[in-house]
């Protein structure tokens, strides 16, 4: 036991002596400088970037204030990055904040109000006027208005539109009306599923718009009678399609359909021949897609209303392909006369 105690004393004394020796050596050694240390070279402050010089000067008067560095980081200049992909050298994209404010502010708020007003307007019209009835009643005699191919193209576009509209509404506004009800644990997976469905159905919608355009464009060429139809408050004479239907065809289906489809393809990054879109291009496409989709849906509300409960006999024409003769005579008198005088279902003679 005495031997162990003596050994401990010897070890402690040795460690204390070694520590004192290092202390004396450190006091006698010259102070190390960056230039004197092996492998480290001193650098003149004037050789540093301007932002770094500003930061060094600011540290002396305003410690902890690194505004110059963050201004440089938040600039549009792309810096060096070991990752060799486009925009990898941009740490913070300036346009992202403006895009977020515009998308979540102007597009979401005003777009939501526009859809709400369109739906409420249709509801008010229906409560006041109800369904447009045939003045002479149904005759019981039917006439062909749409072929099977024409109806299939219409329903393909309609069904894909409904899927895109429902999924898009939940993706854009679901956090405000659905998230508080079902909670985040259900809302997250739901929006992810709807996003994938939206991306899959989108190309089918584009194809249906193209087919629909090819089948119906011949009978939607504008003419003077369309202006007369509008001036008469939607009660003038018309051929197969009236001015209101032509407005929906050209501005709704064609223009907005192309805008929504093209911007959607950019967001999906599946445009042929282009491998990459910048974040700025994607943000622009997102805003265009949102505005175009909202306008499309707002116009579609009126079209769906007239084609279903808003007008007696209208839905039957697109569901079966046939309409009552009194319906044709009352709503498309010139087309009715052309068919009755020997024309085909379009009113055209061979």
What domains sit in the chain, N to C, each tagged with a CATH number? 157-310 (1.20.950.20)
Question: Are the CB atoms for 198 and 168 separated by under 8 Å?
Answer: yes
Residue 32 pLDDT class (50, 70, 90 cuts)? very low
Give the start-end residues of each E strand in the chain. Answer: 142-144, 322-324
Residue 75 backbone phi and psi in degrees, to 5 = -85, 170
3-state secondary structure 147-211: CHHHHHHHHHHHHHHHHHHHHHHHHHHHHHHCHHHHCHHHHHHHHHHHHHHHHHHHHHHHHHHHH
What is the separation of C-alpha 72 from the centre of its chain, rounded to a whole number of angstroms? 31
How much is the pLDDT for 44? 58
Give the start-end residues of each E strand in 35-183. Answer: 142-144
Phi-psi region of 233 (alpha: psi -120 to 50; beta: other; left: phi over 0): left
- Please check the confidence at residue 25 and state whether its pLDDT lies above 60: no
Q: What is the pTM of this model?
A: 0.79
Span of 188-202, 207-221, 235-249, 269-283 with lowest mean pLDDT: 269-283
Mean pLDDT (whole number) for 2-31? 47
- Please check the confidence at residue 4 and state whether its pLDDT lies above 70: no
Write the pLDDT tens digit of every residue in 295-308: 999 999 999 999 99
What mean pLDDT value characterizes the chain?
Answer: 85
How much is the pLDDT for 226? 94
Mean pLDDT (whole number) for 117-146? 95
Higher pLDDT residue, 296 or 76? Answer: 296
Q: State what percent of residues in the chain have pLDDT above 90.
A: 66
How much is the pLDDT for 269? 82
Question: Are the CB atoms for 209 and 258 separated by under 8 Å?
Answer: yes
Mean pLDDT (whole number) for 121-133? 95
- Please check the confidence at residue 231 and state whether its pLDDT lies above 90: yes
């Amino acid at each position: 036991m005495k031997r162990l105690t003596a050994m401990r004393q010897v070890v402690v004394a040795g460690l204390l002596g070694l520590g004192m020796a290092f202390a004396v050596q450190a006091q006698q050694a010259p102070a190390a400088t960056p230039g004197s240390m092996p492998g480290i070279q001193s650098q003149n402050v004037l050789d540093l970037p301007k932002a770094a010089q500003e930061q060094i000067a600011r540290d002396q008067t305003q410690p902890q204030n690194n505004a110059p560095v963050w201004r440089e980081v938040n600039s549009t200049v792309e810096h060096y990055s070991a990752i060799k992909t486009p925009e990898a050298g941009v740490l913070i994209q300036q346009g992202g904040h403006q895009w977020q404010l515009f998308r979540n502010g102007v597009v979401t708020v005003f777009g939501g109000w526009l859809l709400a007003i369109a739906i409420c307007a249709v509801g008010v019209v229906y409560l006041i006027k109800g369904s447009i009835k045939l003045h002479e009643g149904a005759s019981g005699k039917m006439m062909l208005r749409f072929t099977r191919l024409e109806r299939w193209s219409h329903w393909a576009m309609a069904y894909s539109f409904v899927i895109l509209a429902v999924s898009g509404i939940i993706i854009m506004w679901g956090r405000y009306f659905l998230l508080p009800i079902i909670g985040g644990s259900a809302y997250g997976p739901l929006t992810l599923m709807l996003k994938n469905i939206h991306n899959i159905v989108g190309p089918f919608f584009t194809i249906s718009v193209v087919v629909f355009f090819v089948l119906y464009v011949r009978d939607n060429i504008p003419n003077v009678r369309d202006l007369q139809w509008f001036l008469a408050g939607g009660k003038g004479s018309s051929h197969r399609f009236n001015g209101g239907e032509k407005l929906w065809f050209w501005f709704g289906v064609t223009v907005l359909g192309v805008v929504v489809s093209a911007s959607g393809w950019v967001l999906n990054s599946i445009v042929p021949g282009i491998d990459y879109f910048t974040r700025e291009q994607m943000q622009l496409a997102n805003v265009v897609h949102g505005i175009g989709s909202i306008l499309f849906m707002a116009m579609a509300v009126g079209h769906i209303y007239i084609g279903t409960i808003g007008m007696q006999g209208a839905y039957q024409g697109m569901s079966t392909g046939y309409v009552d003769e009194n319906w044709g005579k009352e709503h498309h008198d010139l087309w009715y006369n052309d068919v009755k005088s020997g024309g085909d279902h379009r009113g055209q003679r061979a």
